[in-house]
Structure 1
Amino acid sequence: MPQGLSRKFSIAPMMDWTDRHCRAFHRALTKRALLYTEMITADAIIHGDRARLLGFSETEHPVALQLGGSDPAKIAEAARIGASFGYDEINLNIGCPSDRVQSGRFGACLMQEPALVAELWSAAQTAAPDVEVTIKSRIGVDEQEPRAALFALVDACAAAGCRSFTVHARKAWLKGLSPKENRDVPPLDYELVRTLKRERRELEIVLNGGLRDLDHAMAESAGLDGVMLGRAAYQSPAILLDVDARIFAAPNPAPNAIAAVEAHIPYIEARLGEGVPLHAMTRHMLGLFNGVPGGRAWRRVLSTQAVRSGADASVVRAALAEIARPAADAA
């Protein structure tokens, strides 16, 4: 495992959300959490704009690349390319339930093909020997019995050499539920994930799925090797401010959310200078002050002004002033 990489706490790969600007913002809130890219298909990496798809800032380390695909040769090539960009981990997506993923025969539907998943893992690890390849899965799909499905997948991949598994603790229903419903409707089974760890103690097991906040995450992941937060971290990112102290016993990077935004502004200004539109960055920051006096004004300023042509970092400062004012008034 690369120096500085720990899976004790990570932020989940989320389509359309965890792009490089989101990850840079999260890095202003936690220096220790492992960050993940959105899932990127092997075909996109092989044939697409690699600089755009795979580029990231050095400040994002530790950062993992999540791959999707079902062709071992393509997964191997994508892993090799990803490793050349300097990612700290490569993760195989065996959990996404979207229609596009099903039509491409990867993601959660691969829960039904553990031997193929083991082959995919072996191909990726052989192609990128200096980067650990990990697996993120569900506990089953459709009519599968969760314990049997999860253990079959894990055991097949462990026999091939995989040692780290992140488990989203609910089934995916590929027939009858939308991708959005698959994030909420199937019941959670955290105990099954804990059982997996008790019975496969030599493996690294990380819990994911439906975790509301840091307290909930720490409670449910007791006895496991780590925990991964997804929507909670994205929609209420202020919860990340305590991760370094509570999870890693390390100093938090900022004393509060206001200081974190101020520390993040130089990144915003640098990207603006490269032609990145402001809203591409601030869209990930809207939930930072949820429940805080001025939080609604913060969201309004960013939502209405960051999309304007020529918008610059002064918009962020103006939005931040909406937060600072109630604090000053209270004093």
Structure 2
Amino acid sequence: MKPAPPAAPPIDATSWRLSVAPMMDWTDRHCRYFHRLLSPHARLYTEMVTSAALVRGKQLRLLEHSQQEHPLALQLGGSDPHELAQAARFGAEAGYDEINLNVGCPSDRVQSGRFGACLMYEPALVADCVKAMRDTVSVPVTVKCRIGVDEQDDYADLQHFTETMLEAGVEVLVVHARKAWLKGLSPKENREIPPLDYPRVHRLKREFPQLVVAINGGITTVEQVQAQLAELDGVMLGRAAYHDPYILARLEHALYGTPLPGREDVLRRLQPYIEAELKRGTALKHITRHLLGLYQGEPGARGFRRTLSEGAHLPGAGWALIEQAMIPLQPAA
């Protein structure tokens, strides 16, 4: 009989005050390192990693990350409690601060694997998965879900799901404030077409005050984040943080009083990381694709993006290309 994991320390709700959503093909380790330079406090999430990839595929390389990325959560996709428990153990052993279960992704590929948003139809199964993971690891096991799926138009459905999660020991729930349509809408349309319902998430927090509730979906400005924090414990930014990453620095300044860094200062702090990765054989394009929005809305931003986009894939591309990209951004002498 395996020994039980050490007791988890009490949840600190403030740790979820600001976070960056798990986003497939975007929040890889290079993106997360860059985001950490912009926000020392934000909780960062990996792209979704399937439990099958870790347990059956033995792809433990997917857990690679830098110590500078913490606080850092591993998001898992799956629906087999035993397999998820093994995957969670791999994540905890790799040093992740949280294991998050995806109950929100609406893509057909995810549904065919019986995980993601379709699991909102099976709260008892989600509870079994959570219990299995909590019995295996001592780090927090959290859930990211939607406000509902398909014909689940009643608040009672979300209420029942939440009650079931609480009974399973969930202490942190991240809620994407849109319903997911599992048939007929693409993942992109599922991020835009179903209407946002922030009041439903606010009601959830009022009725379950013991639960740490963070909200995700359609939040793009510092003012909107502050308004949500008046109702909830945390805000998770998705596409806004990727396409305009400097918002993370603005939020860091507004929420924590951290001095606002210059964009060029952020890039120069990234230089040692880039040069180390180039020595490892990482192509520059895998890093610079995450930097394209740094000067969003600033004079010279288009030239910055063009220089990186056109040059980062070329053989031998290195830090000099980023220096070149910054030239149009320099103030006139």
**Aligned counterparts, 1:100-249, within 5 A:** 100-128=109-137, 130-249=138-257
TM-score using structure 2 length: 0.94
2:320 is aligned with 1:311: no
Cα separation, 1, equivalents of 2:37 and 2:99: 23
Whether the 8 Å contact between 2:13 and 2:212 is mirrored in structure 1 is no
TM-score using structure 1 length: 0.95
Shift of residue 99, structure 1, vs aligned partner: 0.8
Cα separation, 2, equivalents of 1:33 and 1:256: 18
Cα separation, 1, equivalents of 2:197 and 2:81: 31
Whether the 8 Å contact between 2:81 and 2:132 is mirrored in structure 1 is yes
Shift of residue 317, structure 1, vs aligned partner: 1.2
Shift of residue 5, structure 1, vs aligned partner: 7.5
Cα separation, 2, equivalents of 1:232 and 1:256: 19
Shift of residue 2, structure 1, vs aligned partner: 7.9
Correspondent of 1:32 among 35, 41, 49: 41
2:54 is aligned with 1:45: yes
Cα separation, 1, equivalents of 2:44 and 2:85: 22
Residue type at the aligned position of 2:65: F
Residue type at the aligned position of 2:211: L
Cα separation, 2, equivalents of 1:16 and 1:109: 21
Whether the 8 Å contact between 2:20 and 2:43 is mirrored in structure 1 is yes
Shift of residue 213, structure 1, vs aligned partner: 1.9
Question: SS at the partner of 1:100?
Answer: helix
Question: SS at the partner of 2:163?
Answer: helix
1:243–1:142 distance in 2 versus 1, CA, 3 Å: same
Question: SS at the partner of 2:74?
Answer: strand
**Partner deviation per Cα, 1:223-281 (whole Å, 9 max, x = no partner):** 210100000000000111122222233x24x5221111111111111111100000000
Match of 1:285 in 2: 291
Whether the 8 Å contact between 2:11 and 2:171 is mirrored in structure 1 is no
Cα separation, 2, equivalents of 1:48 and 1:236: 35
Shift of residue 214, structure 1, vs aligned partner: 2.1
Residue type at the aligned position of 1:290: Q
Question: SS at the partner of 2:272?
Answer: helix
Question: SS at the partner of 1:185?
Answer: coil
Cα separation, 1, equivalents of 2:218 and 2:251: 18
2:305 is aligned with 1:299: yes
Structure 2: gaps spanning 5 or more residues: 1-9
Correspondent of 1:58 among 48, 67, 88: 67
2:73 is aligned with 1:67: no
1:111–1:2 distance in 2 versus 1, CA, 3 Å: closer
Question: SS at the partner of 1:15?
Answer: coil
Cα separation, 2, equivalents of 1:57 and 1:4: 24
Deviates more, 1:297-306 or 1:42-51: 42-51
Whether the 8 Å contact between 1:209 and 1:230 is mirrored in structure 2 is yes
Cα separation, 2, equivalents of 1:299 and 1:291: 12
Instruction: Name the structure where helix makes up a greater proportion of residues.
Output: 1
1:24–1:3 distance in 2 versus 1, CA, 3 Å: farther
Question: SS at the partner of 2:290?
Answer: helix
Residue type at the aligned position of 2:102: N
Whether the 8 Å contact between 1:65 and 1:91 is mirrored in structure 2 is yes
Question: SS at the partner of 2:231?
Answer: coil
Whether the 8 Å contact between 1:4 and 1:32 is mirrored in structure 2 is no
Structure 1: gaps spanning 5 or more residues: none
Alpha-carbon RMSD across the aligned residues, in angstroms, is 1.5
Cα separation, 2, equivalents of 1:56 and 1:5: 23
Correspondent of 2:326 among 304, 315, 320: 320
**Partner deviation per Cα, 1:163-191 (whole Å, 9 max, x = no partner):** 11000001000011111100000000000
1:98–1:111 distance in 2 versus 1, CA, 3 Å: same
Match of 2:5 in 1: none
Shift of residue 204, structure 1, vs aligned partner: 0.4
Shift of residue 161, structure 1, vs aligned partner: 1.1
**Partner deviation per Cα, 1:191-213 (whole Å, 9 max, x = no partner):** 00000000110110001111122
Give the length in aligned residue pairs: 324
Cα separation, 2, equivalents of 1:274 and 1:213: 37
